[in-house]
Amino acid sequence: METTDRVVDFDFKPEGRHPEDTQVVLAPATGSDTFPAPEPPVSPAHQKTFQIADLMVLACVTMWAFNVPLVKSILQYMQPLETSLIRFGTAGIIFAVYVKLKEGSLKIRWQHVPLMVGAALMGIFLNQVLFVYALSNTTSSEVSLLMAATPSFATIFAWLMGQEKIRLNYWLSLPLAVAGVSLIILTAPGAKLGGNLAGDGLAILTAASWAAYTAMIRPLMKHYSASLISVYVSLIGSAALLPFAFGQFDWNKMTLMPTNAWLALLYSTLGSVVITNLLWFTGIKELGAPRTAFYAYLQPFVGVFAAALILGETIVPWQIAGGFFIVGSMIIYRVKFSRRRKVAAEPVPAADAA
């Protein structure tokens, strides 16, 4: 049909290129969020040996984990939505330059625009509103641990959208995840309705919104690279944040920010949003999605220790146990599920939902 040849063109090359020339079909489907898709073959030797790609994925997960307390530290000097707008607006521009240089074009088809906009509103706008206000109302440790529930939500959304069938073992593993969430919330130091509990609720919604986002863009992964999708969702999401964030900008206060706050903002933008995207997808390509995905389960626990190191937060053993319950529930589900399908479905790292 005629509409299949119409594209949104932010390409600055001469006219005349057919859109198919600029589209990249991404074989591995994982990223700052992961989506099951056909994987490139991974040799048995690569599957069994620890290699450079493993270190890259570990570095990626560690960077995501440290991002949560660093964003909370930034909120001492900047307003929540102001922070998100700067981070994702800047990251979107960087992604655009990167994709333009690597892929040669920023074109997408018009028929995919509504889904791209919806994904941006869910995965950047709503997710970031929930994330920064969760951090403003509870501890960084609790946000990191509660974000471990993202794969559980992702499975439900994939089922609702007809992308995945839920087997009995998912419902058998779900009580373990619920018990983990309950432990994290109920054992929080000084938990109260107007403070920690409100923040914990926002953190759970953050995980849910990120999971919904992964299901929404899963069809787009068949047509575009993760980096190209990141260009659009980051810039569209930032545009949606702009009217709400603009009133929070305090230029005078920004000029008084200490150097360590600026460095944290740089890390949270360039490191946690841009570099991790490249590291994660390289890991998927080299190691395969199932092996790479299991590294993501380390993120909540590294996040707790990062919060203790950066913010001096107290490590609560019962909350750590709750995190193990959540992660354990999804490991049980995924391992049994992969045996049935012969292919392991990947979880959704919180990447920069954090």
**3-state per-residue secondary structure call for 184-249:** HHHCCCCCCCCCHHHHHHHHHHHHHHHHHHHHHHCHHHHCCCHHHHHHHHHHHHHHHHHHHHHHHC
Question: 55: Cβ–Cβ under 8 A, 6 or more apart, which residues?
Answer: none
Q: Which of the four pLDDT bands, split at 50, 70 and 90, describes residue 335?
A: low
pLDDT for 278 equals: 86
Q: Answer whether residue 6 is part of any domain.
A: no
Position 282 scores a pLDDT of 83
Q: What is the pLDDT of residues 85-101, one digit of tens each?
A: 999 999 999 999 999 99
Nearest 5°: the CA angle 150, 152, 157 is 90
Paired with 8 in beta bridges are: 108
- Please give the tally of structural domains in the chain: 1
Among 292-301, 304-313, 335-344, the least confident range: 335-344
CA distance 88 to 352: 10
Confidence of residue 59 (pLDDT cuts 50, 70, 90): very high
Other C-beta atoms lying within 10 Å of the C-beta of residue 150 = 32
Would residue 213 count as lying in a domain? Answer: yes
In a domain, 23, yes or no: no
d(CA 82, CA 215): 27
What residue has token string 């069809």? 219
The reply to whether 64 falls in a domain is yes
- Does residue 351 surpass a pLDDT of 60? no
pLDDT given for residue 230 in this prediction: 92
- 19 is a domain residue: no
Q: Is residue 3 part of a domain?
A: no
Tokens of 22: 């600029």
In a domain, 214, yes or no: yes
The whole-angstrom separation of Cα 208 and Cα 71 is 20
pLDDT beyond 50 at 141: yes
Half-sphere exposure of 34 (CA within 13 A, CB side): 32
- Strands (E) in the chain, as ranges, are 7-8, 108-109
162 in helix, strand or coil?
Answer: coil
| pLDDT of residue 313 exceeding 60 | yes
Whole-number average pLDDT of the chain: 78
What tens digit of pLDDT does each residue of 172-197 get? 778 888 888 888 877 766 555 455 78
pLDDT digit string (tens) for 80-138?
999 999 999 999 999 999 999 999 999 999 999 999 999 999 999 999 999 999 999 99
pLDDT for residue 265:
96
pTM of the model: 0.78
Instruction: Summarize pLDDT for 210-232 with one digit per residue, the tens.
Output: 989 988 988 998 899 889 999 99
Distance from C-alpha of 183 to C-alpha of 195, rounded to nearest angstrom:
17
Give the pLDDT of residue 324: 86
> d(Cα 210, Cα 32) in Å, to the nearest integer?
10
Residue 159: per-residue pLDDT: 84
Residue 102 lies in domain:
52-334
**Interval 39-64 mean pLDDT:** 71
User: Does residue 340 fall inside a structural domain?
Assistant: no
